[in-house]
């Protein structure tokens, strides 16, 4: 129940912020070029709240369906324009002014991402030390020369403070087919250069989440004791009688040394009877538990419903990737550019068929990740918000009728031909664009439901 509440609230906050910023971009640009704004709405459908004020009598509203918003302008497409107000109608404005108003929404989303990344860079993002914990045999990383316990100092001349600090940059390099050059120091104290040919790797990567798995390298994780910190009600662990404070000693006779090993042993035993040996206040006991199978990245994974003990002290000791004001702003600009680049390259791969449509996500999945990031903390939620803001901005700039990019395409045609696109062509484009968006939304909802059923 708590997870559902976090997901719903996280989704509403995320959508509320992103849509408000997007529509404010249109609104502010319209006011700047002298277009009269009739209505500014967050959400669609019947208004649950509505007020009108200002010299222009603009109506501000919140719609009942929180899946978008709109800015209605005088003379936009249809509607009578009163005598004396012709100069304030959207359709009567010069081409550059109309393009400015339409593009301002997506641009506002991109600038929001810059500001969020800037703020996050100032606060600092804690991460794992950049130390190699495991190298998969016969992997790209092993072939390149990575070794366990190597400390990564730089990647393509960029200083590395935490393990995930430059993940986005590296993913962009891989998708572009550009090489990665690491400077590492081994346990012998000797610095050496490790280069990764990303050509083959780039063809294998389907989604960002699989990047490090395809590279074949994992970070060294802090040692967390295999002690139960929380038990979810009605979970397999609760039904088996596990309680807070139990130390897990063995799984089916396999000795457990830390939390990571515990998770690994449970995850491969989905929907099987498992014998767990525990230490409860100095007394050894055995419990039978059936890990519940859950789909994770296409693999059925066992979960028993326990959480780790308080690890605040461990995580407080983690290094931070933190910047001063100007470097933080430059980092925000670069991260927004890299996120945009990765988003476009992933979209191109999906159109080309390299990435399956099952990777499309709808509001349920977005809500899930919004809730998950919010539960972790403010910084992870802000990073999530920036990622979705870039996606929203990029999506709206695609040349699909009904989206902002579709309007910009019409304006481009008007600029080349010297006359506006005919109503017949616009209507056909709207039908085509509406059909395409409906199909994409239906696939995304289907994927959401499939993921939900598999949980």
State residue 171's pLDDT score. 84
State residue 104's pLDDT score. 98
What is the C-alpha separation between 291 and 302, in angstroms, rounded? Answer: 5
Residue 217 is part of a domain; what is its CATH number?
Answer: 2.30.42.10
Same domain, 345 and 380: yes
* Residue 239 CA from chain centroid, whole number: 35
Same domain, 450 and 360: yes
- List the one residue out of 454, 455, 453, 451 whose CA is nearest residue 362: 451
Same domain, 246 and 206: no
State residue 126's pLDDT score. 85
Same domain, 189 and 315: yes
With beta carbons less than 8 A apart as the criterion, state whether 448 and 364 touch. yes
| Chain segment 29-59, per-residue pLDDT in tens | 999 999 999 999 999 989 999 999 888 899 9
Catalytic amino acids? 23
Supply the pTM of this predicted model: 0.80
Residues of the chain with pLDDT under 70: 1-2, 77-80, 200-211, 297-298, 311-315, 354-359, 451-455
What residues does 255 pair with on adjacent strands? 250
Same domain, 334 and 443: yes
State residue 228's pLDDT score. 93
Mark which of 278, 310, 342 sits at the end of a domain: 310
What is the C-alpha separation between 410 and 407, in angstroms, rounded? Answer: 5
Mark which of 310, 340, 367 sits at the end of a domain: 310
Same domain, 246 and 367: no
State residue 7's pLDDT score. 82
Q: Where in the sequence is the domain holding 297, given as residue range(s)? A: 228-310
* Residue 34 CA from chain centroid, whole number: 36
Mark which of 321, 346, 373 sits at the end of a domain: 321
Number of structural domains, the chain?
Answer: 3
């Amino acid at each position: 129940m708590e997870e559902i509440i976090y997901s719903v609230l996280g989704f509403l906050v995320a959508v509320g912020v992103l849509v408000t910023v997007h529509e404010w971009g249109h609104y502010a640009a319209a006011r700047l070029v002298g277009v009269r704004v009739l209505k500014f709405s967050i959400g669609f459908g019947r208004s649950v709240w509505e007020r009108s004020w200002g010299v222009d009598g603009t109506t501000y509203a919140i719609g009942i369906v929180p899946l978008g918003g709109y800015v209605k302008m005088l003379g936009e497409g249809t509607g009578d324009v009163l005598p004396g107000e012709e100069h304030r109608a959207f359709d009567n404005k010069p081409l550059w002014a109309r393009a400015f108003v339409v593009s301002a929404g997506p641009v506002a989303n991109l600038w929001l991402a810059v500001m969020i990344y800037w703020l996050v860079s100032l606060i600092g993002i804690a991460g794992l030390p950049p130390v190699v914990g495991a190298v998969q045999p016969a992997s790209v990383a092993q072939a390149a020369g990575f070794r366990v316990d190597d400390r990564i100092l730089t990647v393509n001349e960029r200083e590395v403070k935490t393990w995930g600090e430059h993940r986005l940059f590296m993913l962009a390099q891989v998708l572009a087919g550009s090489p990665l050059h690491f400077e590492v120091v081994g346990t012998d104290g000797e610095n050496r250069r490790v280069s990764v040919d990303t050509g083959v790797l780039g063809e294998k990567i389907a989604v960002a989440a699989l990047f490090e798995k395809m590279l074949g390298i994992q970070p060294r994780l802090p040692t967390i004791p295999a002690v139960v910190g929380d038990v979810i009600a009605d979970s397999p662990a609760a039904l088996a009688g596990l309680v807070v404070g139990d130390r897990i000693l063995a799984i089916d006779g396999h000795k457990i040394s830390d939390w990571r090993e515990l998770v690994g042993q449970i995850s491969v035993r989905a929907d099987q009877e498992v014998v767990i040996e525990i230490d409860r206040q100095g007394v050894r006991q055995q419990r039978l538990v059936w890990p519940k199978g859950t789909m994770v990245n296409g693999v059925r994974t066992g979960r028993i419903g326990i959480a780790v003990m308080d690890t605040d002290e461990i995580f407080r000791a983690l290094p931070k990737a933190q910047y001063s004001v100007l470097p933080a702003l430059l980092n925000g600009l670069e991260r927004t550019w890299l996120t945009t680049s990765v988003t476009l390259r992933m979209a191109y791969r999906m159109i080309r068929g390299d990435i399956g449509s099952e990777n499309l996500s709808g509001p349920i999945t977005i809500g899930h990740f919004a809730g998950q990031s919010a539960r972790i903390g403010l910084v992870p939620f802000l990073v999530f918000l920036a990622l979705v803001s870039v996606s929203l901005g990029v999506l709206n700039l695609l040349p699909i009728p009904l989206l902002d990019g579709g309007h910009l395409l019409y304006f481009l045609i008007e600029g080349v031909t010297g006359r506006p696109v005919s109503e017949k062509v616009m209507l056909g484009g709207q039908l085509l664009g509406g059909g395409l968006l409906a199909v994409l939304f239906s696939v995304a909802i289907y994927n959401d439901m499939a993921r939900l059923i598999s949980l």
